[in-house]
Structures are given as C-alpha cells and as structure tokens.
Structure 1
Amino acid sequence: MSNESKGRRVVDRRNREAEVLQAAVEVFYAKGYSAASVQDVADRVGVLKGSLYHYISSKEDLLFRIFAESHEQAVQIMEGITARDLPPRKRLEAFLTEIIHWYLNNVERVSLYFNEWRYLTGDNAATVRKHRRVFSDYLRDTLTDGAAELRPGTDVRLATFYMLGAVNNIPVWYRKTGPYSAARVASEFVSMSTFLAFTEN
C-alpha cells in the first residue's frame, strides 16, 4: 500500500470518528442518554452497530468522549484569553463573551454536559468532575486577580457561583428562534456580571 493510500485511510477514519461523536450528541440530546442506544447512534451514522465499536468501547465511552472533547474546546478558549495577558476585568469579559458564544453554538453538547454527566462511572466520572473544577477555578482565579477592583464586600466564591449558575443555565431557556441573538445574550450577561463584581470604571 502506498503512503498516499495509508494517509487517506487515516483521514477517513478521523472524519468518521467526528461523525460518530456528532451523531451521538444529536441522539443523546433528542432521546436522553438513558433511553438512547448504540444502535440509535449507528443508525444515525448509517453503519452497522458492530462497525461503531471500531471507534468506541461502550455507550458510556461515547458519552465521556463527547464531554472530553467539549472540555478541550473550553480549555482552548481559556488558554487563548490567558495568552492575551488582559487585566482581570477585561479577562473576565472576554472569557464570558467567548464561552457564552460557544455555549449557544453548541447547545446540545452543553445540555448533555450538565444533564447527563451523572451517568458516568468510575474514572470517567472522576475525570469529568476534575474538568468541571478547571472551569470554575478559572473564573474564580480571574476574580481573585482583580480583587483590588472588586466592589467592597464582594465574596469571590459566591460571585463565582452566581456567574456559573447564570451562564450554565443559558442552554435551558435559549432558543435560536427566540427574540434574543447570541450576541445580545453575551453582551447583557457580561455587563450584568461585571457590574455585580467590579466597581465602576
């Protein structure tokens, strides 16, 4: 087999894996993880159920890989913002803006992440709990770095919980066909969050 053919086979496999994960996102979101089956995912991809096991080891493995991929994308957002070396308030604004846009562009993934993670077991569950702390720690550390600019009496821990609750709840009520654009939601939530935590400029 030529090197060109080998390379083509690798690319095809990677593309198929992405297709499997996306199909799983759609199926799990539509039916709920507990009610969905590997067969449902195979049907969505258009392959035999046995063929799906070339890409996954179990239904739980499929759910975990969706979460792991979502976490990697969120970490890329954090790392990109950190690399810009912004002051704390601007870092918070950039982070909330970008993560809200990511949420609204990936509502199905985000909904799965917050509603179905309890079905993970063992190391998978432990890893996702660790991943969730990375998210909250980034937000808390950003507020802590800006302590000198925070409103007097602001409790960083409570402010972190407040912002997490507000942002994580967006996929519950947001509808693409609703009255608010993603840009409007991001802008308003960022304004309210920074007003809550920081003194006026």
Structure 2
Amino acid sequence: MKDRIKEQSIIFFEKKGFSETSIQDIVEALNVTKGTFYYYYSSKEQLLMDIHKEYIDDLLQRQQKIIDSGESQKSKLKGIIHLLISDIARNGDSGKVFFREMRHLTYDNATEIKKRREQFRLSIEEVIRQGAENGEFRKQLQPDMTALAILGMTNWTYQWFNTAGELTAAELAEQYSSIVLDGINTRNEG
C-alpha cells in the first residue's frame, strides 16, 4: 500500500503540483481512508521527502556502479549521461516531481536532499578531474563548471523529452555524450 500511495501521489504531484494535491485526492484515487495514508506517512511533506530520497538514492547507487566499473573516465562520463537520460525516460513523472517540487520540502529535508544531489555532482567532477589528469580530457577543463554544464543539459531534459518522439533515450544520450566528449566543432571529424 505504501508503494501505491507513493505512485498515486507522483501522478498527482506531476499533473497538479504538490500544493494543489490534497491527501483527500490521493486516498480517493486509491479508494482508501485517510487513516491508511497516515499509517504510512505522517504528512504530505513526509511523502514528498520519501519520493525525493528514493529518487536520488537510486541514482547515487547506479552512479556508483558506473564509477566502480573500472572503465575509462570517458566511458564512465558517458555512462552517467546515459544513466540520467534513461532515468528521465523511464521515470519521467518522478523526475518532474524531483526537479520541480523540492521547494515544498522543509529546510532540513531540503538540505538533506541537496547534500545527496551535491554528492552526485561531486562524483561527476571527480570523473572529469581524473580524466584530465590521465590525459583523457583537456587539462584546462574546470571539473566543477563542466559537471554543472552536464547536469544542466541532462536534467533539463525532463521538461521536453518525449519517449514516443523522434529520438529514443539512448539516441539522445549518445547525442549529449557526443556534445560533451567531442564538442560541436568540425575539427574532431574524420
């Protein structure tokens, strides 16, 4: 039931927003009582926090597998880009809630989620730093700015990416990887 509450809430939060969704909306859609909701969650905000933690913790675990893979830094960076795009394609509604609704978390909860987001970003920076040190990437790259650019490009995808559209998630991730790893100039061709 806890998972069903979370799934239904994600649907409502994505469509109506956190503020416009009531606990009553959620329980009516599930045909349960408010008591059932409160058995699992003390508040709507606690539910939102649970959604955020699950989302970022899953990304962190999957990112760590990529980092621990023993692949080149270039392959790791490409893997992280694929991870982010495939996740948005697979978990679109959760991604929208994750990116849009964090402002409704209490200060302490938002701080906890921001630390986890920062951990994800810092891991990307480290991949870039190691790649620059071992000659896979240009030495003059600023790992912090490059990581932010990658996250800005990939994370914004939740706003417009259509899984039934022109590109698959894998094709989009390849496009993004090419932009990041090869740039957009013709110097790198043939």
Q: Is contact 2:66–2:79 with CA below 8 Å preserved after alignment?
A: yes
Q: Tell me the CA shift for residue 111 of structure 1.
A: 1.0
Give the total of aligned pairs.
Answer: 184
Matched, 1:146 2:131: yes
**What's the RMSD between the two structures over aligned residues?**
1.8
**Runs ≥4 residues deviating over 4 A:** none
Matched, 1:98 2:83: yes
Q: Tell me the CA shift for residue 170 of structure 1.
A: 0.4
Q: Is contact 2:73–2:128 with CA below 8 Å preserved after alignment?
A: yes
State the distance in 2 between where 1:129 and 1:71 align.
10
| Corresponding residue SS for 1:92 | helix
State the distance in 2 between where 1:177 and 1:90 align.
27
| Residue matched to 1:8 | none
Q: Is contact 1:28–1:36 with CA below 8 Å preserved after alignment?
A: yes
State the distance in 1 between where 2:31 and 2:68 align.
42
Scaled by the length of structure 2, what TM-score is found?
A: 0.90
State the distance in 1 between where 2:109 and 2:77 align.
30
- The C-alpha deviation readout for 1:173-192, integer Å capped at 9, x for no partner, is 11123222112111111111
| Residue matched to 1:158 | 145
- The C-alpha deviation readout for 1:76-129, integer Å capped at 9, x for no partner, is 211221231112111111111122101211111111111110111132111111
Q: Is contact 1:77–1:99 with CA below 8 Å preserved after alignment?
A: no
- The C-alpha deviation readout for 1:6-43, integer Å capped at 9, x for no partner, is xxxxxxxxxx1111111111111010011111111112
| Residue matched to 1:168 | 155
* Identity across the alignment (%): 27
Q: Is contact 2:85–2:173 with CA below 8 Å preserved after alignment?
A: yes
Ranges in structure 1 where 5+ consecutive residues have no aligned partner: 1-15
| Residue matched to 1:180 | 167
| Residue matched to 1:75 | 60
State the distance in 1 between where 2:22 and 2:130 align.
46
Aligned-partner residue type, residue 173 of structure 2: A
Q: Which has the larger radius of gyration?
A: 1
